[in-house]
Structure 1
Amino acid sequence: MARAKTRGPQLDPIVLAGLTDADGSDLRAGDSREAERFTGCDLSGRDLTGIGFQECELRGVSLSDTQLRGASVADCVAGELHASVFSAPRSSWRDVSIEHSRLGSVELYEATLRSVHIDGSKLDFVNLRGATLTDVLLSDCIIEELDLGGATVQRLELRNCRIGTLDVTRATLKDADLRSSDFSAIHGLEGLRGATIDDAQLSLLAPVLAAHLGIIVT
């Protein structure tokens, strides 16, 4: 019987044109912004709850302790973002590319991510508990802790990432490709059902799997 092939994320190129430069000084909670470019803005500590960005570009923007709860981000490109605390629980992200960013605590619990690519970034603690991820690619990232507890995941690829701790407790995974990434620890082993790993990763996981299943190896 042929093995089922792991399907990778389906991502379309994001093309932006005719953007208007904006300094972000007039951004308010609940705003809806379209086709704007924000460069070098400091939005730290601002309340932008429920804000919407459509076909926008953000470069070198500081977002420490910015309140982005319930924000909606679609067809956007971002790079060189900085935040010690990135707070966007219950937010929605569709067709978004983020690159070369440095984020500390990333609060995305119960968020919805669809067609999202995060590349070349360093993230400390990423809280995606209870989130829904569809067609998500993380490439060449360093992540101290990735928490997918209770998340629903379909077509996720972690490509060439270094991850300290991966928590998949009570997660539901389908087509989750972990093969080219390194992990120091994995919690909630039963949540790995639906993930694809390689032989080397299986060898590293063998003692943990044995302990989890109550197998004595002598």
Structure 2
Amino acid sequence: MRTKAPTIDPIHLDGLTDADGLDIDAGASREAERYTGAELGGRDLTGISFSECEFRQLSLNDTKLRGASFSECIVTDLHAPVFSVPRSIWRDVRIEHSRLGSVEAYEATLRGVQIDGSKLDFVNLRSAHLTDVLLSNCIIEELDLGGATIQRLELRDCRIGTLDVTNAKLKDVDLRSSDFSAIRGIEGLRGATIDDAQLSQLAPLLAAHLGLRVE
């Protein structure tokens, strides 16, 4: 059986209204707006909902976005040394050319999400649910997928420092075109697809996991 690729639908945004973000509050519902250069750092936007919105050159450092919802949104040039979005919901979202430090997205739900050409330091997706997700041309220092449930994820041309898949449940996860320095929770790779070169790199970890002695 061939590994199924994620299904990423195109996002078309028309008739957007320019907004500065000064009047948005926690729990608000915003639709069809464009935010350019908005400074939302340090704000409490818990439970906010964005639908069919575009974000450009946005700063979200230390913004509280627990339980936030993003649907059919495009994000370009996002900057946040601390990006706090636990238990958030992302559906049909594209993030491009962004720089994120610590990403706290544990127990989040991602469906139809693409992150392209971005650099991320530490990404916490523990116990998250990912369906149809594509990470392309990204540099990630540590990607923590511990306990996550994942279906149709592709890491395309990415460079990953440490990948943690401890107790993860994977199906149709394609790792073939990416590089990894270290992998934790090797048993959690069940359901992933790798290539011959990656298998050679994983051989010492597999031997240690199985208790094999190579002489």
TM range (shorter): over 0.9
CA distance in 2, matches of 1:89, 1:62: 18
TM-score (norm. length: structure 2): 1.00
**Residue 175 (structure 1) aligned to one of 151, 154, 172:** 172
- How far residue 204 of structure 1 moved from its aligned partner, in angstroms, is 0.4
CA distance in 2, matches of 1:148, 1:127: 7
Q: Which residue number in structure 1 is paired with residue 42 of structure 2?
A: 45
**Residue 67 (structure 1) aligned to one of 64, 68, 90:** 64
CA distance in 2, matches of 1:99, 1:23: 20
In the TM superposition, what whole-angstrom CA distance separates every residue of 1:189-216 from its partner, at most 9, and x where no partner exists?
A: 1100000000000000001110111101
**Residue 104 (structure 2) aligned to one of 107, 126, 138:** 107
* Identical amino acids, percent of aligned pairs: 76
In the TM superposition, what whole-angstrom CA distance separates every residue of 1:133-169 from its partner, at most 9, and x where no partner exists?
A: 0000000000000000000000000000000000000
Q: Which letter maps to 1:102?
A: R
Q: Which letter maps to 1:29?
A: A
Q: Which residue number in structure 2 is paired with residue 94 of structure 1?
A: 91
Q: What is the CA RMSD across the aligned residues, in angstroms?
A: 0.3
CA distance in 1, matches of 2:175, 2:212: 25
**Residue 210 (structure 2) aligned to one of 187, 209, 213:** 213
- How far residue 91 of structure 1 moved from its aligned partner, in angstroms, is 0.3
Q: Does 1:83 align with 2:80?
A: yes
SS of 1:50's equivalent in the other structure is coil
Unaligned runs of 5+ in 1: none
- How far residue 27 of structure 1 moved from its aligned partner, in angstroms, is 1.1
Q: Which letter maps to 1:136?
A: V
**Residue 164 (structure 1) aligned to one of 148, 161, 164:** 161
In the TM superposition, what whole-angstrom CA distance separates every residue of 1:106-159 from its partner, at most 9, and x where no partner exists?
A: 010000000000000000000000000000000000000000000000000000
CA distance in 1, matches of 2:137, 2:50: 26
CA distance in 2, matches of 1:45, 1:178: 35
Unaligned runs of 5+ in 2: none
| Count of matched residue positions in the alignment of Structure 1 and Structure 2 | 215
TM-score (norm. length: structure 1): 0.98
**Residue 56 (structure 1) aligned to one of 53, 58, 63:** 53
Structure 1 stretches of at least 4 aligned residues deviating more than 2 Å after TM superposition: none
SS of 2:150's equivalent in the other structure is strand
